[in-house]
Structure 1
Amino acid sequence: MTGTVAVVGSFNVDHVWRVDALPVPGATLAGSYSTGPGGKGFNQAVAARRSGAATVFVCALGNDAGAHQARALCDTDGIELHAARADAPTGTAGIYVDAKGTNTIVIGAGANAALDPAFACKALAGADGPRVVLAQLETPMETVAAVLAWAMASGALAVLNPAPANADVPVRLLECTGVLTPNETEFAALLATHGIADIAPDRVPALDDARLHAWCRALLPRGTVVITLGAAGCFVSHPDTDAKGDACAAYRVPAPSARVVDTTGAGDAFSGSLCSSLARTPVAPFRTHVEFATAYAARSTEAFGAALAMPRT
C-alpha cells in the first residue's frame, strides 16, 4: 500500500451568492456573485492533496467548460484524475452564504449521477494501491457501496463521509466502512434511519459522551466514528476492543479559534485532510490525525470558496 488517498465522488461548478441573510420564501435579495469549482468529492480531493498526500480523484464529467475546468485544476494541484465521460452536463451547485459564513446549498447532480461502479473500481485498481479510499453520497449509492467494498477487500482503509444528510445510508455501506465522518445533522439522520435514536441535530454537541459513544457503537460496531461539530470541534468513538492507541475509546477534540468568513466546504476539508494524515502516517495515534484535520478545517473557513479555499500545508 502506498501513502495515497483515492477520493471517489462529485465535481460541481459552484455558483455562489453572498448575502447579508439567507433567503426565505418570497424574498428578493441583493448580493454579490461568483463561481468556482466544488463538489464534495473534489473539495475532499483538493484538501487531501494540499494537506500533503498523493491523491487520486475518480469522478464523472460532462463534455463542457466545467469538465475542462476540473481537468485543469487537477493538473495544477497534482491530482491524478480518472473521469468517466457522461452524457449530461457537469454537476452544479447553487450556494448562498450569509454575513456569518453560514450557507445553504442546492445541488444539480448532472454527470455525477452517471458515475458507475465498474468505472470507479477499475480506476481504483489502476491507482497503485491507495492506502485510504474516501467516498461521499453525491454519486450513486451502488457506486459508493462498490467502492467501499473494493477498499475493504483490497486492504485499504474505507472512509465514508455520509453527506448530504438527505441520503439514506444502507447497512451494507456501513458494514464496509472503517471510518465514518458525519456532522451533527448527518449523525442525527443516520440514527433515525437505522432506528437507533430520534434526536434534533442541534442537541448532538451537548449530549454526554457515554450516550454518543453508545449510539456510535450501535451505528458502526467495528469502525471509528468522528462526529464533526463545527466550532465545538469533534467527538471520536473507537470500537471498545480497539482504541487505536488512545487512552480511551471515546473523547472530544476541540477546534482552534478561526476568523470565519465562509463555512462552505469545511466538512470536506476535515474529511480530506483526515484521510491525508491517515495515509501519510498510518502508525500515529488516531487522535493525532483528528487534531490535524480539525485545525486544517478551521483554517479553511478563513477564506471564501470551497475547493479553492483549501489551505496548503
Structure 2
Amino acid sequence: MAARKKKSAACDVVVVGSYNQDMVWQAARLPAPGETRMGRFSSGPGGKGFNQAVAAARQGARTAFIAARGNDALGERAADTARAEGIDARWQQVAGEATGTAAIWLDAAGQNSIVVAPGANSLLAPAHVLAQRETIASARVLLTQHEVHPVASLRALQLAGELGLLRIHNPAPQQDGAAYRALLAECELLTPNESEFAALVRAHGAEVEASAIASLADEDLHTLCRLLPVPSVVLTLGAAGAFVSHADPTRFHDVAAAYRVPGQSAHVVDTTGAGDCFNGALAASLACAVDLALATHVAQATRCAACSVESHGAAASMPTREQVGRRFPG
C-alpha cells in the first residue's frame, strides 16, 4: 500500500453513511404472502453506515460519522446513541424529513428480510460532507456505502483521495446506475458480497450466478474481480470467509495477487449487520496497523463478523476488540 501521511492519532476512521432505527420482528419462520404469524418485537440503532461506525469504534479506532437525520425523536435517539458509543457524529438535520427506519423480519435460523425507508439518509448533501473537510483530513481511512445519496459518497471519496486517505467502498445495498458505478473509480478497496459482486460484474460484461461464486476456482474469481475498475477487491462469502483480488498486491503488503481467507465457525442467531461489522472492523484494522498485510486485516474482520452473528441486533451486535479476542484467542 502506498505510504500515507503521518497522523497525530494512532488510528482514525471516518464513515460517511446512513443511520436507520431498526424495527425487528422475530418469528420461528418468516410469514408467507398473506399469512400472519405471532412473534417478538424489538428496536435498536442500525443503518449500514452507523453499524460500520460502531464496529470500527468498538475495535478501537477513533471514529467519526457523517450522516443525515430528521429533526424528530428518532434523530435525537441517534445522536444520543452515537455519543454513548464515543463516535464523533457530524449530523445534517433535514427539516421535514423523518430519520431513516428499517423493518427487519428475522427467523429462528437467524436469516432476515429487510425493508428500508431511507428518509433523511437520501438527502445527505454533498455540501455537508465537504464541510467536514477538517474531520476527514484527520483520518487514515474513509468508508462509504450505498444507503445515502451517491453524490454525497462521491464527494467524500474524492476529498479523501485529495487528502491521502485509504478509501474503502462497500457497494451495499445493491444499486444500479451510472451515479453508483462512478464510485468504483474513486476507491482503492471494494468490498461487495456475492449478490453485489454478481451485479457489478454483469454491468462490466460478465455473467455469474451469486449462488455459484463461492465455489468458483480462485483463478476464475480473480479474472472476474479484475473486470472491475478498482485496485483491490475483498469479496465477502458469508460463512465461507472472503476472497481477495489485487491488481498489485504490494499496494497492501500482500504477496499473492489472489487468495482466500477462511471463515470462522459461529453459532448463528442473527445475521443482521454481519457485513457491516466486517467492513467497519476492516477499516479499523487497516487504520490501526497500516503496515500489516491485507490478509491479516481481512482475517480479523472475519472474526469480528463471526462474533456479530452470535448476538441479536444490528449496531448492538458489533463486538468489542476484547470480545473478539476472547472468542477467538491467539
Question: Normalization by structure 1: what TM-score?
Answer: 0.96
Report the equivalent of 2:50: 42
Q: What secondary structure sits across from 2:225 in the alignment?
A: helix
Give the whole-Å Cα distance in 2 for the aligned partners of 1:101 and 1:241: 36
Offset, 1:125: 2.9
Report the equivalent of 1:97: 106
8 A contact 1:8–1:58 mirrored in 2: yes
For residues 35-54 of structure 1, give each alpha carbon's deviation from its aligned partner in whole angstroms, at most 9, with x where no partner exists. Answer: 11100000000000001100
Report the equivalent of 1:174: 184
Q: What secondary structure sits across from 2:296 in the alignment?
A: helix
Within 5 Å, which residues of 2 pair with 1:27-106? 27-87=35-95, 88-106=97-115
Give the counterpart letter for 2:92 in structure 1: A
Report the equivalent of 2:172: 163
Offset, 1:30: 1.4
Report the equivalent of 2:318: 310
User: How has the CA–CA distance of structure 1 residues 101 and 237 changed in structure 2, closer, same or farther, with 3 Å as cutoff?
Assistant: same
Offset, 1:135: 0.5
Give the whole-Å Cα distance in 2 for the aligned partners of 1:309 and 1:172: 32
Give the counterpart letter for 1:201 in structure 2: A
Between stretches 51-60 and 17-26, larger displacement belongs to 17-26
Between stretches 171-180 and 233-242, larger displacement belongs to 233-242
Within 5 Å, which residues of 2 pair with 1:126-165? 126-165=135-174
Give the whole-Å Cα distance in 2 for the aligned partners of 1:127 and 1:174: 19
Give the counterpart letter for 2:127 in structure 1: A
Within 5 Å, which residues of 2 pair with 1:243-254? 244-254=252-262
Give the whole-Å Cα distance in 2 for the aligned partners of 1:32 and 1:171: 39
Offset, 1:187: 0.5
User: How has the CA–CA distance of structure 1 residues 241 and 291 changed in structure 2, closer, same or farther, with 3 Å as cutoff?
Assistant: closer
Give the whole-Å Cα distance in 2 for the aligned partners of 1:262 and 1:187: 23
Report the equivalent of 1:203: 212
Offset, 1:229: 0.7
8 A contact 1:62–1:85 mirrored in 2: yes
Between stretches 22-31 and 276-285, larger displacement belongs to 22-31
Give the whole-Å Cα distance in 1 for the aligned partners of 2:137 and 2:84: 21
Instruction: Pick from 276, 294, 297 the counterpart of residue 305 of structure 2.
Output: 297
Offset, 1:127: 4.4
Structure 2: 5+ residue stretches without partners: 1-6, 322-330
Q: What secondary structure sits across from 1:55 in the alignment?
A: strand
Offset, 1:128: 4.8
Q: What secondary structure sits across from 1:259 in the alignment?
A: coil
Instruction: Pick from 239, 258, 264 the counterpart of residue 231 of structure 1.
Output: 239
Structure 1: 5+ residue stretches without partners: none
User: How has the CA–CA distance of structure 1 residues 147 and 225 changed in structure 2, closer, same or farther, with 3 Å as cutoff?
Assistant: same
Give the whole-Å Cα distance in 1 for the aligned partners of 2:316 and 2:33: 30
Give the whole-Å Cα distance in 2 for the aligned partners of 1:51 and 1:299: 12
Q: What secondary structure sits across from 1:242 in the alignment?
A: helix
Asked if 1:186 corresponds to 2:167, the answer is no
Give the whole-Å Cα distance in 1 for the aligned partners of 2:167 and 2:137: 16
Offset, 1:126: 3.3
Q: What secondary structure sits across from 2:131 in the alignment?
A: helix
Asked if 1:217 corresponds to 2:226, the answer is yes
Give the whole-Å Cα distance in 2 for the aligned partners of 1:37 and 1:308: 7
Offset, 1:261: 0.3
Report the equivalent of 1:114: 123
Aligned pair count reads: 311
Quick one: percent identity of the two aligned structures?
47
User: How has the CA–CA distance of structure 1 residues 136 and 305 changed in structure 2, closer, same or farther, with 3 Å as cutoff?
Assistant: same
Structure 1 runs of 4+ aligned residues shifted over 6 Å read none
8 A contact 1:243–1:249 mirrored in 2: no
Give the counterpart letter for 1:132 in structure 2: V
Question: Normalization by structure 2: what TM-score?
Answer: 0.91
Q: What secondary structure sits across from 2:146 in the alignment?
A: coil
8 A contact 2:253–2:291 mirrored in 1: no
Give the whole-Å Cα distance in 2 for the aligned partners of 1:214 and 1:308: 37
8 A contact 1:19–1:32 mirrored in 2: yes
Give the counterpart letter for 1:70 in structure 2: A
User: How has the CA–CA distance of structure 1 residues 16 and 124 changed in structure 2, closer, same or farther, with 3 Å as cutoff?
Assistant: farther
